[in-house]
Amino acid sequence: MIVVNFKAYSESAGERGVKIAKICEKVALESKKEIIVCPQTPDLSLISKEVSIPVFSQHIDPVEPGSRTGHITLESVKRYVSGTLINHSEKRMKIADIDYIVKKCRKNGIKSIVCTNNVSVSMACSVLDPDYIAIEPPELIGGDISVTSASPEIVENAVKNIKKINPSVKVLCGAGIKTGEDVKKAIELGAEGVLLASGVVKAKDPEKVLMDLTHY
Amino acid sequence: MIVVNFKAYSESAGERGVKIAKICEKVALESKKEIIVCPQTPDLSLISKEVSIPVFSQHIDPVEPGSRTGHITLESVKRYVSGTLINHSEKRMKIADIDYIVKKCRKNGIKSIVCTNNVSVSMACSVLDPDYIAIEPPELIGGDISVTSASPEIVENAVKNIKKINPSVKVLCGAGIKTGEDVKKAIELGAEGVLLASGVVKAKDPEKVLMDLTHY
Amino acid sequence: MIVVNFKAYSESAGERGVKIAKICEKVALESKKEIIVCPQTPDLSLISKEVSIPVFSQHIDPVEPGSRTGHITLESVKRYVSGTLINHSEKRMKIADIDYIVKKCRKNGIKSIVCTNNVSVSMACSVLDPDYIAIEPPELIGGDISVTSASPEIVENAVKNIKKINPSVKVLCGAGIKTGEDVKKAIELGAEGVLLASGVVKAKDPEKVLMDLTHY
Amino acid sequence: MIVVNFKAYSESAGERGVKIAKICEKVALESKKEIIVCPQTPDLSLISKEVSIPVFSQHIDPVEPGSRTGHITLESVKRYVSGTLINHSEKRMKIADIDYIVKKCRKNGIKSIVCTNNVSVSMACSVLDPDYIAIEPPELIGGDISVTSASPEIVENAVKNIKKINPSVKVLCGAGIKTGEDVKKAIELGAEGVLLASGVVKAKDPEKVLMDLTHY
């Protein structure tokens, strides 16, 4: 499973985002691997109509529908997405709010990926019973070395310890992932997939990168 | 000028939002008054395609495009909107960030409506040279009494003092606005329009309410 | 163990805080029970000199010493306190920051009390290995009914489940605690103490209330 | 007027803070210049007793006394300080909150220094009628070049434009200030004083630096 986070890159906004999403869809169909896209929030209604692969949101605010100008409720995205990132390193949340959103996602049939920064936080969040924990060591995010090369023991320990606490939680890893080799290594370390962003979105040839990523 | 803020109401999400936006468009065309809609962020790409009246966003985060997962950049909404609310009472911002966003809006041809809570903050924000200041006394927001009835002197003072500091800033008022009579009074007090939300979005018959609002 | 949170009450600031702290000390010595005081931050240097019982801070910001105007570092309070509240319901923190502060406390010999709102968040935070988890259901905080009467099952479940995950974590409970009877019940439910605020600080006769609280 | 911000430096905490505050007092008395110290919050009760020069707090939270664990109210610091920094670049605040705190300071006889990042924000904040605006261009903070050398026009423009809006507001400037020459230049540019931190707090010989600073 490959989760492509569009972040707030210029390269992934509007029609450029549609184009990347369609490339993701094409490669997913050809490779028979699961690829998930996380478009920018204002593009959710646009991109969700254009592709058949799963669309996730990048964030959901921990609030109910109502007088909440400028907030992103689960209710406002659920017609466009089948899952969401939660607590991304660029949008950290309070623990009580992560708990609230994970429960709300489960109740609404929305898949939850809780992003974490280290093994202890990963274990803590796995108690909250999300569908996925995505561990991304902050010092490696946006860098050139894959977490699977730089810190394989972090991924391995995260998987081992998360499973001890909550065997039903699946583990993803991220930070510096760029090649099929990185994905292969992630899976060998016990992860069920990867989370990446610039490696695809800012690539000169995203299709080529994605084809490589799916050959693991 | 009537600005309809969709907030995060259930009644304004997705297809229900499209429906309200189309009613706003219809009444705008019939009445020849300017009506602006502020849809929920995930609906921006959807609703902006469906109507010809101006679409504004409810909020823009004070960040540049890049590694900003879950943030709403001006660049990500500008293909869908011609303006934005800034510093709404439900999404207050830091002064340096209001300054940053107002300047960025002007540079990008996006109209800016800075929301404020009292006369002194309205005056302060008018220094930053937005297109509009929308004053909404917090104690009256969501209530049954219009600001123009409950506190006409606040609107009058805001207009007078804002114009002294920056004559090119236009003034809107909000809180409790529900009828054409309220709009008429707002204009008599020197405002150039109103900002409202539940009065339209949660109305049993939004078209009837809007028709009344435009008869001032 | 009784933790008295001074909050930001007028009744606990400055000399009035010193007076309450001294009453806590007196009752602790007489009753031979452990009473901990959490003064307001600007009073820490004052109150810590005046009493021999443990003084805890109400909050620590997740930052290192340096260019951090207006932030409360562990380093700035550690000469005055032997422990701290973390993630109080009135000062919620991000999960990565709770993890950071708990680890930093342990390294510096500062006791950590992580406040939580429900059983799942309590379990999650117990993974982070603080000295104490203090569970306080938000709907009961500041109310007239003790958590031990209103929701004894929450305390019981919290204790049971926290111990399963991390047997070395001790459990406190709070919300509506006012009498020795409440403390007794808390202990019967498996807690090792209570966290309270207005029940002591805003009492007409704090000494009388504290004497009662220690008779369990 | 020289305002020494202790920030959260190790060099200014506890007894080391007392020592720096006493040096400031000594130089103030000898030079007959006004020097103000802004200690770390937990040291306020300690340092305010040790020196006769004005003590200001680094920050005040925009809340009233009450159930506000971990917050710094004006009421909790006013027995220790005669003024406060507001909206420091390391602790930015919402515009409505700056307005609230400035008004509350005036009502309570506490001097207010609102920190700002550029000319337009300085002008906006001067509308709120604080005692001082302290302009500090963020790109120069903590650097080696004084704002008075690097961007004299910013200081000059700030003074000119602030006075136009509110002649009773006094202007300070900060960022890179290290010598009496910098202070002299600040005054020539129309400022009434400077705000500095590391230049004094992290100096090998703070007394010597302060003596130089007061020779303008």
pLDDT tens-digit series, residues B7-53:
999 999 999 999 999 999 999 999 999 999 999 999 999 999 999 99
Tokens 């001074």 belong to which residue?
Answer: C6
Residues of A in contact with B40 (CB under 8 A): 72-73, 76
- Sign of the torsion formed by the C-alpha atoms of C87, C93, C98 and C101: negative
To the nearest 10 degrees (0 to 180), the angle between helices C206-213 and C15-31 is: 30
How many Cβ atoms sit within 10 Å of the Cβ of residue D63? 18
d(CA A99, CA A108): 14
Residue A139 pLDDT greater than 80, yes or no:
yes
Mean pLDDT of chain A: 95
How many CA atoms lie less than 13 Å away from D204 in the CB half-sphere? 0
d(CA C52, CA B36): 64
Preferred mutation among B118, B119, B127, B128 to probe D, highest tally of D CBs within 10 A: B127
Beginning with the edge strand found earlier in the chain, give each strand of the sheet holding B193-196 in spatial order. B35-38, B2-5, B193-196, B170-174, B132-135, B111-116, B83-86, B56-57
Helix (H, G, I), strand (E, B) or coil at D216: coil
Residue A208 pLDDT greater than 90, yes or no:
yes
Say if the Cβ atoms of C67 and D90 lie within 8 Å. yes
Residues of A in contact with B37 (CB under 8 A): none
For residue A143, name the pLDDT band (cuts at 50, 70, 90).
confident
The rounded radius of gyration (Å) of the Cα atoms in chain B is 16
Task: Give Cα separations from B99 to B66, B91, B94, D121, D130 (angstroms).
Answer: 20, 15, 9, 7, 19
A88–B contact, CB cutoff 8 A: yes
pLDDT of residue D143: 80
The superfamily CATH assigns to domain A2-214 is Aldolase class I (3.20.20.70)
pLDDT average, residue stretch C171-199: 93
Mean pLDDT of chain B: 95
For residue D175, name the pLDDT band (cuts at 50, 70, 90).
confident
Task: Give percent above pLDDT 70 in chain D.
Answer: 100
Task: Work out the angle at residue C18's Cα, subtended by the Cα atoms of residues C13 and C24, and round it to the nearest 5 degrees.
Answer: 115
Tokens 């603080």 belong to which residue?
Answer: C130
pLDDT of residue B139: 85
d(CA A73, CA B40): 9
Among chain C residues, CA nearest to A114: C95
Task: Give Cα separations from C38 to C3, C6, C55 (angstroms).
Answer: 7, 6, 6
How many CA atoms lie less than 13 Å away from A58 in the CB half-sphere? 28
How many Cβ atoms sit within 10 Å of the Cβ of residue D166? 15
Tell me which residue in B97, B103, B125 faces D124 most closely, judged by beta carbons. B125
Residue D216 pLDDT greater than 80, yes or no:
no
For residue A215, name the pLDDT band (cuts at 50, 70, 90).
confident
pLDDT of residue D12: 98
As given in the structure block, the two tokens for residue D184 are 């002299």
Preferred mutation among C15, C37, C40 to probe D, highest tally of D CBs within 10 A: C40
Residue B175 pLDDT greater than 90, yes or no:
no
Amino acid (1-letter code) at residue B97: D
For residue B216, name the pLDDT band (cuts at 50, 70, 90).
confident
Tell which residue, D85, D82, D81, has the closest CA to residue D101. D85
- For C62-115, write each residue's pLDDT tens digit: 999 999 999 999 999 999 999 999 999 999 999 999 999 999 999 999 999 999
Q: What is the DSSP letter of A192?
A: S
How many CA atoms lie less than 13 Å away from C15 in the CB half-sphere? 1
Beta bridge partners of B35: B2
Which residue out of B15, B59, B136, B139 is catalytically annotated? B136
How many Cβ atoms sit within 10 Å of the Cβ of residue B122? 28
As given in the structure block, the two tokens for residue A165 are 């606490």
Element (H, E) at C198: helix C198-201
pLDDT of residue B79: 96
pLDDT average, residue stretch B115-124: 96
pLDDT average, residue stretch A146-175: 94
- For C130-169, write each residue's pLDDT tens digit: 999 999 988 888 788 888 888 899 999 999 999 999 999 9
Give the helix ranges, DSSP H, for C108-146: 119-127
Task: Give percent above pLDDT 90 in chain C.
Answer: 89
Q: Give D171→chain C minimum CA distance, Å.
A: 20
D71 belongs to the catalytic site = no
pTM: 0.94
C149–A contact, CB cutoff 8 A: no
d(CA A61, CA B205): 30
Tell which residue, D19, D7, D11, D8, has the closest CA to residue D46. D19
Residue A100 pLDDT greater than 90, yes or no:
yes
Whether residue A181 contacts residue A209, with contact meaning beta carbons closer than 8 Å, is answered with no
Whether residue D73 contacts residue D65, with contact meaning beta carbons closer than 8 Å, is answered with yes
d(CA C133, CA C118): 11
- Sign of the torsion formed by the C-alpha atoms of C183, C188, C192 and C195: negative
pLDDT of residue A141: 83
Task: Work out the angle at residue D161's Cα, subtended by the Cα atoms of residues D158 and D165, and round it to the nearest 5 degrees.
Answer: 130
Q: What is the DSSP letter of A66?
A: B
- For A43-67, write each residue's pLDDT tens digit: 999 999 999 999 999 999 999 999 9
pLDDT average, residue stretch A97-112: 98
d(CA C216, CA D8): 42
A88 belongs to the catalytic site = yes
For residue C216, name the pLDDT band (cuts at 50, 70, 90).
confident
The rounded radius of gyration (Å) of the Cα atoms in chain A is 16
In chain D, the N- to C-terminal Cα span, in Å, equals 11
